[in-house]
């Protein structure tokens, strides 16, 4: 019988270097964010002529004036509703379409399956700017210019290649024995999709929902192009960008506007993180 002597853990320079790099990145991200948060509670004079770090020393002079100005600005409430109207369908539609397509590309056999998948995913390399003019002409001819439907379709087209790529890779890695057993029991493709593939793909769907929601909610360019001068349909990103006047004044209000803009995305991220973790455990199936 041999006896193993357990010594002290060996020093691993690579691991310490990784931790140090993560700490440096965290500080580089946290310091500007903290400065922006502090400036959002300061007066215009303090923001213009004094560093944010000086606000941490007495006398403390904090105010909610910037938040009051942003929240009471004309049309801000309607812009928040418009952002929800744009973001929710523009998140649900591409995920729903990609989920059906991912299951078909993963577990159904049809001609040119791999070729079609490569073509769709290959659209990721197409710059968005190249599609703006053709899409704008199409929406104008179809009578959709300036409408929410135009923005929904645009975001669906832009987000679908990545969504399909992510979900197809995840669904394709699911245990084949589960689907084979379902087919032997007489389950249809729709049953296998809704009862097996979809529940087991909750982690991938949750992470994709986070990315898509954050992208659409924070989008300015797509909404500005396809909604155009239709002010009643403008989301918060456009409305907040208009806080700065033509001469570049009132820019100090953007600090408060930035945190108002990010309040809902952070909430959604935290909620979906919990759902992501539970879905990860519930969808773990070993074949």
Longest CA span, the chain: 84
Q: Would you state the structure tokens that stand for residue 210, as one six-digit string?
A: 């986070």
CATH code at position 174: 1.10.3720.10
pLDDT at 272: 75
In a domain, 169, yes or no: yes
Q: Would you state the structure tokens that stand for residue 16, as one six-digit string?
A: 């310490």
Q: Are residues 276 and 195 in the same domain?
A: yes
The closest alpha carbon to 154, from 94, 96, 102, 99, belongs to 94
Q: Are residues 122 and 262 in the same domain?
A: yes
Q: Are residues 41 and 113 in the same domain?
A: no
In a domain, 3, yes or no: no
188 exposure class (CB count in 10 Å sphere: 0-12, 13-18, 19+) = exposed
Q: Are residues 47 and 154 in the same domain?
A: no
Q: Are residues 180 and 274 in the same domain?
A: yes
235-254 pLDDT tens trace: 988 888 887 765 466 777 88
Q: Are residues 52 and 114 in the same domain?
A: no
Give the end of a domain, one of 63, 84, 101.
Answer: 63
**Number of structural domains the chain divides into:** 2
pLDDT at 249: 66
Q: Are residues 130 and 239 in the same domain?
A: yes
- Alpha helices, DSSP H only, in 109-218? 113-121, 129-141, 148-172, 176-184, 189-192, 198-200, 202-217
181-197 pLDDT tens trace: 988 888 899 999 999 99
pLDDT at 281 over 70: no
In a domain, 7, yes or no: no
Q: Are residues 31 and 171 in the same domain?
A: no
pLDDT class for 261, splitting at 50, 70, 90?
confident
Alpha-carbon radius of gyration of the chain? 25
In a domain, 228, yes or no: yes
Q: Would you state the structure tokens that stand for residue 119, as one six-digit string?
A: 């073509």
Alpha carbon distance 36, 221 (integer Å): 23
Q: Would you state the structure tokens that stand for residue 60, as one six-digit string?
A: 């403390």
Q: Are residues 22 and 112 in the same domain?
A: no
Q: Are residues 51 and 140 in the same domain?
A: no
Q: Would you state the structure tokens that stand for residue 268, as one six-digit string?
A: 């959604």
Q: Are residues 199 and 260 in the same domain?
A: yes
Q: Which domain holds residue 47?
A: 14-63
pLDDT at 247: 47
Q: Are residues 44 and 163 in the same domain?
A: no
pLDDT at 1 over 50: no
Greater pLDDT, 4 or 142 = 142
């Amino acid at each position: 019988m041999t006896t193993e002597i357990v010594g002290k853990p060996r020093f691993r320079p690579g691991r310490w270097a990784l931790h140090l790099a993560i700490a440096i990145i965290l500080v580089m991200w946290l310091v500007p964010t903290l400065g922006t948060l502090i400036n959002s509670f300061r007066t215009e004079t303090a923001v213009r002529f004094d560093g944010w770090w000086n606000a941490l020393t007495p006398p403390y002079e904090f105010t909610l004036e910037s938040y009051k100005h942003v929240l009471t600005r004309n049309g801000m409430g309607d812009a928040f509703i418009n952002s929800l109207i744009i973001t929710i369908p523009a998140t649900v539609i591409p995920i729903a379409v990609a989920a059906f397509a991912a299951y078909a590309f993963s577990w159904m056999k049809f001609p040119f399956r791999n070729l079609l998948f490569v073509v769709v995913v290959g659209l990721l390399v197409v710059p968005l700017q190249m599609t703006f003019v053709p899409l704008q002409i199409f929406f104008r001819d179809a009578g959709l210019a300036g409408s929410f439907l135009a923005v929904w379709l645009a975001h669906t087209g832009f987000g679908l290649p990545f969504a399909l790529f992510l979900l197809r890779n995840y669904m394709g890695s699911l245990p084949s024995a589960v689907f084979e057993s379902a087919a032997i029991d007489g389950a249809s493709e729709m049953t296998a999709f809704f009862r097996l593939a979809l529940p087991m793909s909750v982690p991938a769907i949750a992470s994709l929902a986070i990315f898509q929601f954050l992208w659409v909610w924070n989008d300015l360019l797509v909404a500005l192009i396809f909604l155009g001068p239709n002010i009643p349909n403008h989301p918060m990103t456009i409305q907040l960008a208009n806080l700065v006047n033509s001469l570049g004044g009132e820019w100090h209000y953007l600090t408060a506007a930035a945190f108002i803009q990010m309040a809902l995305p952070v909430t959604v991220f935290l909620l979906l993180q919990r759902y992501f973790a539970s879905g990860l455990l519930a969808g773990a199936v070993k074949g």
